[in-house]
Amino acid sequence: MTHTDDHDYWNHNTHYHRLVLDAMPDPCEAALDVGCGEGLLARRLATRARRVTGVDRSAEMIRRARERAGASGGLEFVAADFLRHPFPEGAYDLVCSVAVIHHMDFTSALTRMADLLRPGGTLVVVGLARNRTPLDWARDVAVLPAVMVVDRVRGKADPAGMPMADPEMSWGQVRREALRLLPGARFRRHLYWRYSVRWRRP
């Protein structure tokens, strides 16, 4: 299940791949990466999970993911609408999504992700939210200089052609809806304008 990755890079999304990897159950038989893009996180998951599926509605992103994965065993990429594709319910030890859920209906997507977990499985969502309050904006202003320095030092790189969209839900709305849908979930706000939701299915 180990391989080298010749397509490594860093940006505000890949920064949180470690958060997902640290939350993986051990052992992990099957993992699903929702909105996998060109597959970097899925390839990293495949070093720890027996089977990894990446899904993205962009056929071009899936083409790149397959190309970069090569002949890696246990790694599959599907070009499909996550909310419509017939993934088997209760089949995954880990379901994750990084900076993608704001492209979908939040409630439908989070519910679907939870349904795909087997009992004891882990859900990790890293997402973006919209600033709505003076405190939201103040937080961004406070960290912006540090973020700019890190971007310059690390060499921020975003894959060409990656779909972009602004989030509609505020931080408070995301937190309230996540905790309503997933009792006991942990919501945290992070640097780089990201939040995380982590939940273990009973």
The pLDDT of residue 1 is 39
Mean pLDDT, range 86-112, rounded to an integer: 97
- What token pair was written down for 29? 């038989």
pLDDT band at 106 (very low <50, low <70, confident <90, very high): very high
Q: How many CB atoms lie within 10 A of CB 5?
A: 15
The string of pLDDT tens digits covering residues 131-190 is: 877 776 667 666 666 656 556 666 656 666 666 788 999 999 999 999 999 999 999 999
DSSP conformational letter for 51: E
pTM to 2 decimals? Answer: 0.88
Q: Decide if 35 contacts 96 (C-beta within 8 A).
A: no
**Nearby residues of 34 by Cβ (< 8 Å), 6 or more positions away:** 55, 82, 95, 96, 97, 100, 101, 109, 113
Please report the pLDDT score of residue 2 as a whole number.
35
pLDDT of residue 77: 98
